[in-house]
Amino acid sequence: MLMNILAIETSCDDTSVAIVTDGSIILSSIVATQLEHSAYGGVVPEVAAREHIKHIIPVLEEAFRVAEVTWDEIDAIAVTEGPGLIGSLIVGVNTAKTLAYIYNKPLIAVHHTEGHIYANWLKKNLPEVPTFPLVCLTASGGHTNVIYMAKHLNYKIIGETQDDAAGEAYDKVAKMLDLGYPGGPEISKMALLGNKEAYRLPITDLTSAPKRNEEGFLVNPKESLDFSYSGLKTAVLNLIKRVKADNESLTIKQKEDISASFEFTANKIMSRNLARAVKEYKPKTVLLSGGVAANTNLRKQVIEELGDYKVNIFIPDIKCCTDNAAMIAAAAYQHSLIDDYCDAKSLVPDPNLKLI
Ligand code: KG4
Ligand code: ZN
């Protein structure tokens, strides 16, 4: 029997509701993006919460209108439990709890990152689904991880950022260049016209230095799968100061070249770590996920870097990379298959929810 899940995602600044069949076929996926934050160059939590309250019911109605289903055809409700902004999460969780209570539907709580990973199960044209074991790079404004999965819903974090997330670095560099928010798509547009070799930026590597063993020989340690983006951010800040010293403000060409050099470097750190993970863990499949996976250059760089390995690479459609509720429904479907439901009366959002 087909299973229709209605999912709600409000962890940051996108209000989204989706209706998805069997965790893969999108009947509707509505996202109301809050434009109010662009003036501030970042998400203002208080504003985000208020905007979610305004948008949630119209977005819910639109999801039903587009999907052309009724409440009778909904089998379960799913919601992002965390992590995220508490005021934003409360709106989604409370809406989901209320709907589950009124319509007497089972409720499924989903971790936001888990949703990003499962965006790879949302069907495109191919009937193919990712096979295990797999390695997933998940990069967004809040997290940057390499995750190993031996089977569904089984996560082992094998690499993580030690400071900033990749998406945050994109957003901050965009701000330094007076580009809009969110920064990722803006940098990407500028980079298209720039020269990635114009400036050299640090490709951070957290692998420790070789150590001497008992016999006195130098031994290379295991290559690190962790990330660091704060140094790259500072390097761009210093580069801008240096370039600006010659002329008052940056020219468009300079902004394009800085964007291209930054984009290449930020993406190289991710594609290199992914290649290291593939070498070490020998997965059958590699997944990209999270808002940064919408970056066309990252998609290309990863495919190139993994060219020598025998792995299937899955990348969600661009619109499924950034926050959306369809991905939450895709993850929730796997929970439903093992009867992992939660109590609608007691569910509370957790802004610091851990994946494992
Ligand atoms: O997953 P997401 O929508 O929200 C979070 O969970 O954070 O990711 C948003 C992040 C932002 O930092 C945004 O700048 C980045 O993803 N992003 C991109 C692109 N589109 C969105 N970064 C690089 N290139 C893009 N095309
Ligand atoms: Zn996200």
Query: 4-124+320-337: what CATH class?
Result: alpha beta
| CA 292 / ligand 2 centre spacing (Å) | 9
CB of 115 sitting under 6 A from ligand 1? no
| Cα 134 from Cα 114, distance rounded (Å) | 14
pLDDT at 49: 96
What's the pLDDT tens digit per position in 100-112?
999 999 999 999 9
pLDDT at 125: 59
| CA 244 / ligand 1 centre spacing (Å) | 28
Q: Exposed, middle or buried, 36 (CB in 10 Å: 0-12/13-18/19+)?
A: middle
Nearest partner of 231 among 334, 183, 161, judged by Cα: 161
User: How much of the chain, in percent, has pLDDT values that exceed 70?
Assistant: 99
Question: Is pLDDT of 233 > 80?
Answer: yes
| CA 116 / ligand 2 centre spacing (Å) | 7
> Which ligand minimizes its atom distance to the CA of 290?
1
Do residues 26 and 7 lie in contact, with contact meaning Cβ atoms separated by under 8 Å?
A: no
| CA 136 / ligand 2 centre spacing (Å) | 15
pTM over 0.85: yes
CB of 82 sitting under 6 A from ligand 1? no
CB of 323 sitting under 6 A from ligand 1? yes
Decide if 4-124+320-337 and 134-316 have a common fold.
Answer: yes
What's the pLDDT tens digit per position in 45-54?
999 999 999 9
Task: Give nearest CA residue, ligand 1 atom 7.
Answer: 141
Domain 134-316 maps to which CATH number in 3.30.420.40, 3.40.50.700, 1.25.40.10, 3.40.50.2300?
3.30.420.40
Tell me which amino acid residue 262 is. Answer: F
What is the layout of strands, in order, in the sheet containing 107-111?
25-33, 14-21, 4-9, 76-82, 107-111
What's the pLDDT tens digit per position in 67-116?
999 999 999 999 999 999 999 999 999 999 999 999 999 999 999 999 99
Cβ-Cβ contacts under 8 Å for 322 (sequence gap 6 or more): 14, 31, 291, 294
| CA 213 / ligand 1 centre spacing (Å) | 43
CB of 114 sitting under 6 A from ligand 1? no
| Cα 4 from Cα 160, distance rounded (Å) | 34
| Domain locations along the chain | 4-124+320-337, 134-316
| CA 175 / ligand 1 centre spacing (Å) | 14
> Which ligand minimizes its atom distance to the CA of 143?
1
Indicate the helix (H) or strand (E) that contains 271: helix 252-281
Mutate to test the pocket of ligand 1, among 85, 137, 292 (most ligand atoms within 8 A of CB): 292
- DSSP-derived letter for residue 322 is S
What's the pLDDT tens digit per position in 130-183?
999 999 999 999 999 999 999 999 999 999 999 999 999 999 999 999 998 899
CB of 292 sitting under 6 A from ligand 1? yes
Question: Is pLDDT of 333 > 80?
Answer: yes
